[in-house]
Structure 1
């Protein structure tokens, strides 16, 4: 086999390995990870959540502050140890305080209560 033919085979093998590794990494792509900000974090009167890499989250329902822990498997997110302030806020829908689970779908985070009922969504 000529040196040029061996070089072409090695190049093809390296390119193939690179393509396979990029496909394997797509399951953990940023689009499927809950980490980061959801909702309008610039306006404290709007619902939002921030998921930190250490497994903690915090946010607001537009009135009350909430925080807790999260664990993700695939696109499903379990929210645990959720605590919230209990300020009575006139005209504010405090739905986010009832969140117990979430589902990541691209740029949308669907949130569910303890019964598994959908309670709302936040955008990335």
Structure 2
């Protein structure tokens, strides 16, 4: 009987350690970046970013897509494929994105020279 109690106590202790350590895992890397950004309203830029860095959206006129890499709260955009429609009155800044850094619910987007070109608000 004694060995059964000891085995049960060991199993219970192991389960408790697993639960405690699981609670310390925190937010997965990149979770801040993943999701929907910007506005779906006509003429407004928006992006949807997946866990693997794949993204799609619009600069407000042209469709955009590509694959980037996520490191913590930063996405580095890979080459961006875009349609080439003529768009009057639409600022097409999002198509020039090189990276995006998330702080809270705001992504600050920079171009290849590191200059801020715009921001997107998290929409989900």
Q: Please indicate the TM-score interval, normalised by the length of the shorter structure.
A: 0.7 to 0.9
Deviation at 1:88, TM superposition (A): 2.2
Deviation at 1:13, TM superposition (A): 8.1
Contact 1:102 1:110 in 2 (8 A): yes
Give 5+ residue unaligned stretches, structure 1: 1-9
Deviation at 1:69, TM superposition (A): 0.5
Go from structure 1 to structure 2 and tell me whether the alpha carbon gap of 1:29 and 1:22 turns closer, same or farther (over 3 Å shift): farther
Residue 53, structure 1, aligned to residue 51, structure 2: yes
In structure 1, the partner of 2:34 is: 35
Aligned positions of 1:8-19 closer than 5 A: 18-19=19-20
Q: TM-score, normalised by structure 1?
A: 0.76
Alignment deviations for residues 21-54 of structure 1 (CA, whole Å, 9 cap, x no partner): 2222x2417852x22111113x242110011234
In structure 2, the partner of 1:75 is: 73
Deviation at 1:90, TM superposition (A): 1.4
Contact 1:44 1:60 in 2 (8 A): no
> Over the residues paired in the alignment, what is the CA RMSD in angstroms?
2.7
Deviation at 1:72, TM superposition (A): 0.5
Aligned positions of 1:107-122 closer than 5 A: 107-122=105-120
Equivalents in 1 of 2:93, 2:47: separation in Å? 13
Equivalents in 2 of 1:89, 1:101: separation in Å? 24
Go from structure 1 to structure 2 and tell me whether the alpha carbon gap of 1:57 and 1:111 turns closer, same or farther (over 3 Å shift): same
Q: TM-score, normalised by structure 2?
A: 0.76
Instruction: Indicate the structure with greater helix content.
Output: 1
Deviation at 1:93, TM superposition (A): 0.8
Deviation at 1:117, TM superposition (A): 0.9
Contact 2:108 2:118 in 1 (8 A): yes
Equivalents in 2 of 1:99, 1:90: separation in Å? 20
